[in-house]
Amino acid sequence: MPRRKTGLKQGKPLQRKTEMPRGAGLKREANPPAKKSSGQAKTNRGLDPLKAQARRRDGDRCVKCGVHLYGGGNVHHRRNRGLGGSSKANVISNLITLCGTPLTLCHGEVTLKPEKCDAFGNGWRLSTNGTSNPATEPVLVEWLGWALPLADGTWQAIDAREVA
Ligand SMILES: [Zn+2]
């Protein structure tokens, strides 16, 4: 076995002999382009954070009948999102938790038979052509009585006499 002619020089740091071209290292996009939002932000679980907030405020209960939903039911828009109501629809005050679906149980009744349960009178629905603010339109909440859905995501129980 031939002897190595040049021994390893100890203590000499390794040095690169050629310049490393700029940008040849790890490539990383400084600011990846933000994904286009289609109106409302979604969490990574695909849940609308405002709806999740409404459900927390309502203790995962149906505002109309008080039943516990265990993640079921629906969060309902008091003022419809369409028909010109969209700008005021996506606020916490406009959302209430209801059991069922838009076709069944309380949500179905509020949506399909509002006159039967006085959905407008009880604040579970708001007229789309009104100019009122959902935060100042009281809601009949099963466990609170009349209450205002404040913009900070809480209920403020009010005296029934304040309800016109
Ligand atoms: Zn219900």
pLDDT number for residue 87: 61
Residue 112's SS3 state is helix
Burial (CB < 10 A; 0-12, 13-18, 19+), residue 88, is buried
CA of 21 to the centre of ligand 1 (A): 66
CA of 151 to the centre of ligand 1 (A): 23
As a residue count, the chain comes to 164
pLDDT number for residue 161: 73
Evaluate whether 91 touches 50 at the Cβ level (below 8 Å).
Answer: yes
Residues in the chain with pLDDT values less than 70: 1-46, 82-88, 129-130, 164
pLDDT number for residue 58: 98
CA of 64 to the centre of ligand 1 (A): 5
Could you tell me which residues come within 8 angstroms of residue 119 by beta carbon, excluding any fewer than 6 positions away? Answer: 109, 110, 125
Domain ranges for the chain: 49-162
pLDDT number for residue 132: 73
pLDDT number for residue 21: 59
pLDDT number for residue 160: 76
Task: Output the pTM of the full model.
Answer: 0.69
- The residue ranges of DSSP E strands in the chain, in sequence order, are 74-77, 95-98, 139-141, 145-149, 155-157
R_g (Cα) of the chain, nearest Å: 29
CA of 61 to the centre of ligand 1 (A): 8
